[in-house]
Amino acid sequence: MRIVWFFILLLSLPLMAHNQTVILVYHHISDQTPPSTSTTPALFKQHLDYLQANQFKVISLQQAIHSVENNHSKHPEKSVVLTFDDAYLSIYEQAFPILKKRKIPFTVFVSTESVEKQYKAMMNWQQLKELSEAGVTIANHSHTHAHLTQENQNSDVLGRQLDIAQHLLTERLQQTPPPLFAYPYGEFNSNLQTLLNTRGWYGLAQYSGPFSRYSQKTRIPRFAIGGHYSGMTAFKLRVNTLAMPVVEELPGDPHVERMPEAFHLRFDDLPFARQNFQCFYNNHPVSNMVWKDKKVSFSVSANLSVGRSRINCTAKDSKSARYYWHTLPLFNLNPNSD
Q: Which residues bind Zn ion (CB under 5 A)?
A: 85-86
Minimum CB separation of residue 216 from Zn ion in Å reads: 20
Nearer to Zn ion, 195 or 224 (CB): 224
Report the Cα–Cα distance between both ends of the chain, in Å, rounded: 63
CB of 114 within 8 A of CB of 122?
A: yes
Minimum CB separation of residue 85 from Zn ion in Å reads: 4
Minimum CB separation of residue 138 from Zn ion in Å reads: 14
Nearer to Zn ion, 86 or 187 (CB): 86
Nearer to Zn ion, 112 or 212 (CB): 112
CB of 83 within 8 A of CB of 64?
A: no
DSSP string for residues in 137-163: EEEE--SS---TTTS---HHHHHHHHH
Minimum CB separation of residue 161 from Zn ion in Å reads: 13
Minimum CB separation of residue 86 from Zn ion in Å reads: 4
Nearer to Zn ion, 150 or 278 (CB): 150
Q: Kind of pairing, strands 284-285 and 38-39?
A: unpaired
CA 178 to each of CA 50, 138, 270: distance values in angstroms, whole numbers, following the listed order: 29, 8, 35
Residues contacting 32, CB < 8 A, separation 6+? none
Minimum CB separation of residue 142 from Zn ion in Å reads: 8
Question: How far is Cα 87 from Cα 160, in angstroms, rounded to an integer?
Answer: 20
Nearer to Zn ion, 86 or 330 (CB): 86
Nearer to Zn ion, 224 or 265 (CB): 224
CB of 39 within 8 A of CB of 28?
A: yes
